[in-house]
Amino acid sequence: MKIDKAYHDVGGDDFGPVPIDDGSYQLWERRVDAMMRLLSSPAVGLMRVDELRRGIETLGEATYNAEPYYGKWARSLAKIMIEKGVLSQADLDAKIAELRAERGLTP
């Protein structure tokens, strides 16, 4: 019997051997992790870990499969902060455009 699974449910799938990582993360990955820890801390309490998971699971299959681990976190954090009115999509878009312009990147 075939069980239908959502695109994010990879339990039991064979992805080969687990790569051994030396634990070094890029700066942006450490920042995303720090944002999650801060936003979900009891002192701030803007979100819960289950909200992060819901945000990740609702990214859509193409985005979910294209993003690295912390990319999924970053997109989920942004989505949840927009949902809660902490920032707006326009604010986020403007900041992204500003950063891209500073770095000479095209939209």
Tally of domains within the chain: 1
**Whole-angstrom Cα distance, residue 81 to residue 85?**
6
62 in any annotated domain? yes
7 in any annotated domain? no
Q: What are 50-80's pLDDT values in tens digits?
A: 999 999 999 999 999 999 999 999 999 999 9
| Residue 23 binned pLDDT confidence (cut-offs 50, 70, 90) | confident
96 in any annotated domain? yes
Q: Does residue 3 register a pLDDT over 80?
A: no
CATH code of the domain in which 52 resides = 1.10.472.20
- Give the range of the structural domain holding residue 81, as residue numbers without chain letter: 28-102
74 in any annotated domain? yes
61 in any annotated domain? yes
21 in any annotated domain? no
Q: Is there a contact between 78 and 35 (Cβ–Cβ < 8 Å)?
A: no
**Whole-angstrom Cα distance, residue 97 to residue 48?**
29
Instruction: Summarize the confidence of residues 31-50 as an average pLDDT.
Output: 95
